[in-house]
Amino acid sequence: MIRNAQIVNEGKIFIGSVLINGELIESVHEGKNNYGEIDPNKVEIIEGDNLLLLPGVIDDQVHFRDPGLTHKGDIYSESKAAVAGGVTSFMDMPNTRPPAVNNELLEEKFQLAAEKSLANFSFYIGATNDNLDELLKINPQQVCGIKVFMGSSTGNMLVDDEKTLNAIFRDAPCLIATHCEDELTIRRNKEYYQSLYGENLPAHFHSLIRNEDACFASSAKAVSLAKKYNSRLHILHLSTEKEMSLFDNSVSLEDKKITAEVCVHYLWFSNKDYEQLGNKIKCNPSIKSETDKLSLIRAINNNTIDVIATDHAPHLLPEKEGNCLNAASGLPLVQHSLVTMLQLAKQGYFTIEKVVEKMCHAPARLFKIEKRGFIRPGYYADITLVHPNDTWQVSKQNIFYKCGWSPFEEMSFDFRVLKTWVNGNKVFDEGKFDEQVRGKRLFFRV
């Protein structure tokens, strides 16, 4: 039992206690010391006074680099970082080596995770210009979605054949998740700035090359296809104010066919930060203006944006060197996403209830995940205990990413993740891990 914590769940904060029995939450008790008779010889008591008890974060977009790119990260190392940050479930992208573009390779990734992951897991199957038959074979109860790169990023999985795109949106048996950046716009911008300033463009040119027009053109195309075929579309890592006009906040999440996601780095950083952090914040889509950042924050608060994730994408620091054209794109973020969002809540941008809604409840509702995302009796005990007033600084000594660095280094946070449970197992406990714990495959209602 975790007793007398400040439970944040389903739009409320209340003092209460949670009893875990095996893998599941057995009961939730509202009120201080309101939990009935407890035999301390049979129940482990964890005092939650003045601590926040939250559902575990569900991150619907990560790149854990396994298989084939494990010098950057792997399922074991990055899931370890995830649970240290209060993330109990993740959905991993297909652009590994080999890319997960058929069901055999996809199942090999599931087997890897069953052997290595400290958190719960699912994997997207990747679309290509010629694998529609494989996409149609997937079981939507067992696979989180189909990933379509409508703009090139890390890996070579761009889907740019119009006939194939139409067929995917017409026939997909499950959610389609898209990376949206228009290749023609990017190429034109790149040639323009190279003609003016040469090849050695510094980091801030990344947001000028992969600009709002590139994002909007591609996102608008995806929305148009989804409306044409009545597809279930989820657009990942939105980064611009302009794109917000494509989404509807007048209906409930369950009634939306087209949904929107933003990542923590677009809410924390802006193009002002390129001067200090350079390629450390280079990612696709690019981090854009302060105006865009504030617009994304508003879109979270008014429910135009449905989910907050990370797009966790580790690279070694030498891979992030060079100019903006050749430095690798992507940031390691999964260990620090929850504390970042809670810090933004403390600064007045969100309520803590809104953070939990967008990072825990909404992914479970959007993907229709079985028995996760809420603190409810009968649900899996995926929960995290957070100190709300314990200032600490990110440093290389407390980073768990295999790549060994973070764009948040030397920044201070007032929230500290103390403990994380996955399926009722205390996998993280104040800097220590139970490395025997393994997460479970996520399942989805259809």
Q: What is the DSSP letter of 357?
A: I
Of 111, 54, 114, nearest in space to 87 by CA? 54
Of 333, 351, 334, nearest in space to 342 by CA? 351
pLDDT score of 152 more than 70: no
The residue to which tokens 């001067």 are assigned: 275
Averaged over 219-244, what is the pLDDT?
98
15, 72: one domain: no
Q: What is the DSSP letter of 43?
A: S
Answer yes or no: is 235 within a domain: yes
Query: How does pLDDT run across 382-392, given as a tens digit for each residue?
Result: 999 999 999 99
Helix ranges (DSSP H) in 247-377: 264-268, 274-277, 290-301, 337-346, 352-356, 362-367
What integer pLDDT is reported at residue 214 of this predicted model? Answer: 97
Averaged over 164-180, what is the pLDDT?
97
pLDDT band at 36, cuts 50/70/90?
confident
Answer yes or no: is 405 within a domain: no
Answer yes or no: is 399 within a domain: no
CATH number at residue 179: 3.20.20.140
Residue pair 224/162 in contact by the 8 Å Cβ criterion: no
Tell me which H or E stretch contains 229: helix 212-229
The residue to which tokens 């700035």 are assigned: 193
Average pLDDT, the chain: 97
Report d(CA 38, CA 43) in Å as an integer. 7
Q: What is the 3-state secondary structure (H, E, C) of 373-399?
A: CCCCCCCECCEEEEECCCCEECCHHHC
130, 32: one domain: no
Residue by residue, DSSP assigns 333-345 as: -TTTHHHHHHHHH
Q: Name the residue type at position 161.
A: D
pLDDT band at 279, cuts 50/70/90?
very high
Answer yes or no: is 9 within a domain: yes
pLDDT score of 325 more than 90: yes
Range of the domain at 26: 2-53+376-389+413-433
pLDDT band at 155, cuts 50/70/90?
low
What integer pLDDT is reported at residue 94 of this predicted model? Answer: 97
Question: Which of helix, strand or coil describes residue 255?
Answer: helix
For residue 5, list its beta bridge partners: 16
76, 19: one domain: no
Q: What is the DSSP letter of 358?
A: I
pLDDT band at 40, cuts 50/70/90?
confident
33, 163: one domain: no
Report d(CA 323, CA 126) in Å as an integer. 29
Based on the structure, what is the number of domains in the chain? 2
Percent of the chain residues topping a pLDDT of 70:
99
Query: How does pLDDT run across 404-438, given as a tens digit for each residue?
Result: 999 999 999 999 999 999 999 999 999 999 999 99
385, 363: one domain: no
Residue pair 119/422 in contact by the 8 Å Cβ criterion: yes
Averaged over 212-235, what is the pLDDT?
98
For residue 320 the two structure tokens come to 């992030």
Determine what percent of the chain falls in helix, strand and coil, rounding each to the nearest 5.
Answer: 35, 20, 45
Answer yes or no: is 194 within a domain: yes
351, 424: one domain: no
Answer yes or no: is 316 within a domain: yes
Residue pair 125/138 in contact by the 8 Å Cβ criterion: yes
Report d(CA 28, CA 250) in Å as an integer. 32
For residue 360, list its beta bridge partners: none
Query: How does pLDDT run across 85-137, given as a tens digit for each residue?
Result: 999 999 999 999 999 999 999 999 999 999 999 999 999 999 999 999 999 99
43, 112: one domain: no
pLDDT score of 154 more than 70: no
Averaged over 293-315, what is the pLDDT?
98
Percent of the chain residues topping a pLDDT of 90:
97
62, 145: one domain: yes
pLDDT band at 31, cuts 50/70/90?
very high
pLDDT score of 153 more than 80: no
CATH number at residue 30: 2.30.40.10
User: What is the number of helices (H) and of strands (E) in the chain?
Assistant: 13, 20
Show Cβ contacts of residue 131 under 8 Å, excluding neighbours closer than 6 positions: 101, 102
pTM: 0.98
27, 146: one domain: no
Averaged over 30-51, what is the pLDDT?
94
Show Cβ contacts of residue 236 under 8 Å, excluding neighbours closer than 6 positions: 61, 177, 178, 179, 180, 261, 309, 311
